[in-house]
Amino acid sequence: MKKVNQDLLNERRKCTFDIGELTTLIDGGPEKTRDRKEKEEIMLSKTFDRVPEEYLSHKEKFENAIKQSVIIFSLVRRLQKEGKTTISNYRDVISNLLRSTTLRDGSPLGLHYIMFMPAIINQANDEQQAQWLERAWNCNIIGSYAQTELGHGTFIRGLETTATYDASTKEFVLHSPTLTSYKWWPGGLGQAANYCIVVAQLYTNGKCYGVHSFVVQVRDEETHEPLPGIKVGDIGVKFALNSVNNGFLGFDNFRIPRNQMLMKHAQVLEDGTYVKSRNSKLNYGAMVFVRVVIVFDMVNYLSKASIIAVRYSAVRRQSQRKSGEPESQILDYLTQQNKLFIAIAASHALRISANKLWDTFNTINTELLGGNLDRLPELHALACCLKAVSTSDTASFVERCRLACGGHGYMLSSNLPLTYGLVTAACTYEGENTVLLLQTARFLAKTWQQVASGESKLTPTVEYLKTASSKNIPEKWVNSVENIVNAFQIISVRKISSCMENMQRRVSSGSSFEDAWNMSSIQLTSSAEAHCRVIILMSFYEEMQTCAKNVSPELRIVLNQLMELYSVYWALEKLSDLMQYTLVTSEDVESLQAWYEDTLRKLRPNAVGLVDAFDIRDEVLQSTLGSYDGRVYERLMEEALKSPLNAETVNYTFHKYLKPFMQGKL
């Protein structure tokens, strides 16, 4: 093993808690840590001769990604055959893929696991699952998920692709009537997938029944040629995720058998009779699952970014704070701590909220099987706002980490620019964030009507609306996490109440409900975000109360400091709300700022230990700045020498162009 940077060694000696204990807590217990490490050993057992991807063409990136993906996913198949991964613990399958993958810019096979199979699990009936799921699980077929179109994204009801049932042949005829109806963005569809889930407008017996999902073969299983009536290809170069092979897909009266409509919830009988689902939102199960996965994905990316930036900041020295002293580690500057420590705290806050969302997803799924649909709107609203806020926050904090690394953070070899490209994409895919917040706001508006009418029973995640609306605001502010949580609850309640009052006033003045909603939409998205902040803060606070009983005193202190930092950070970020809706004064703000800065100081000795506890291996991190050994400058030079321009000391362009130009001959 190569020598570890002395500054990093010193940082690890300063750590006041057991790093392994925190790793185990993050994983969910010692057994899960052992299981994760064992699977990582398998997943990372294959090494690749790497040409840095930034030097490859778009075509070469795809070909390289396919080669590596096949090797990586064959290891997943090995785990399956050994019984170490099963379809019954599907989230763990996804978690292992997200955490252990060495594909920096995405995989063309990723959507097969993240959306194709979940759609079959959630929307296919037993007979269809028997037909498709094992083949998909074993990767005998590779699938994608085609919903978004060239002309329509988040507005699913506006999709133009049609699936018209022909009772005479017992087939659906899929058709793309316009250019804007072409499917656009499905991952892996360009060249990798031979099947996909297609979301289309269902027509039967001359009537449209809205969007439904269909399993569609798009390429021949042997030759991989597109089937007749299918037009499919790659959409081209993007800001990031260029290995994902996003595709386009069009249909020219393409026929599929009736039983390829996913029929767990709604059916079309042989004679064309439409059998309605108990609840139209049951078809959104796969989408909700994906939004759960996205929140976990953001935790993974934010953990990586904070590891890279904190380790680099411990190694990098810049300027003398006092004459005669050596240059200071930039991690000693309070401004650097302000940039980075919130990313660590947010990783924990979002992880806890993601676990809560996953538990809620499972609980409500169980209730659905029993015929209880009461909490389905709550689940949809929760998944929408957590997806929106987690992706937005992660994009902001990852960029903050990149900027904190100065010029070296701008190098692609740091892996921070690529990470930013991946997380900022998540602000748009699987539901654009503003639209998702408005969907949460719609649920909150209906809930507020229940509160106003005196309804006593609310679903768990909005129960606070009833209690907070009757809370008295303390006249004297006291710095505590509990007070911040209470303040955010009051902010959320008053924002929602204000929205409803403004909408009612507009309607009373002659506006239609739709116009009143549009004119209130900025406030509505703000209300939805405020609600989500309450959920995250409450979850973090409650989890810390629970885990305080199960961890060592040393770790408890540090976890509480992270919780305090996260809470007071957002209190300071939302000062205008605090001052508008609570009795916080300017003196209280000074007190909050002092508390925040003091917490940064307390966390400083444990900064490297905290990111080490994320336990992400160098092979996955793939960063010149963030490796465990801290050999930042050596790795930067090693990567620079891989540039094709360094293969020769003089490039041909000198003699052909530059020299004649310099001599005035060109």
Catalytic residues: 430
Sheet with strand 230-234: strands edge to edge:
183-184, 247-251, 230-234
The neighbouring-strand residues paired with 397 are none
- Residues 6 or more apart in contact with residue 498 via CB below 8 angstroms: 523
Helix 376-404 to helix 334-369 angle (10° resolution) is: 160
With contact defined as beta carbons under 8 Å apart, do 124 and 644 qualify?
Answer: no
The contacts of residue 153 (CB under 8 Å, 6+ apart) are 432
How many CB atoms neighbour CB 169 within 10 A?
11
User: Which sign does the torsion angle of CA 76, 81, 84, 89 carry?
Assistant: positive
Helix (H) or strand (E) holding 448: helix 433-452
3-state SS assignment for residue 47 = coil
- Taking the CA atoms of 393, 394, 397 and 403 in sequence, report the sign of the dihedral they define: negative
Q: Is the dihedral of CA 392, 394, 395, 396 positive or negative?
A: positive
Q: Which two tokens stand for residue 316?
A: 């990098």
Asked if 377 contacts 281 with a C-beta cutoff of 8 angstroms, the reply is yes
Pairing, β 143-146 against β 162-166:
unpaired
CA dist 635 and 643 (Å) reads 13
Give the Å distances, CA to CA, from 55 to 67, 399, 623, 636: 17, 23, 16, 16
Q: What are the DSSP calls for 434-446, one per residue?
A: HHHHHHHHHHHHH
Contact partners, residue 84, CB within 8 Å, separation at least 6: 35, 38, 39, 42
Sign of CA dihedral 608, 610, 615, 620: negative
Q: By C-alpha distance, which of 401, 389, 337, 299 is closest to 596? A: 337
Closest to 235 measured CA to CA, from 395, 426, 62: 62
Q: Which of 308, 398, 391 is nearest to 353 (CA)?
A: 391
Dihedral sign (CA 145, 146, 151, 152)? negative
Measured CA to CA, the distance from residue 228 to residue 254 in angstroms comes to 8
Sort strands 143-146 and 254-257 into parallel, antiparallel or unpaired: unpaired
Query: In whole angstroms, how far apart are CA 376 and each of 120, 267, 344, 576?
Result: 19, 21, 32, 33
Please give the biggest Cα pair distance in the chain: 91
Rg, Å, the chain Cα set? 27
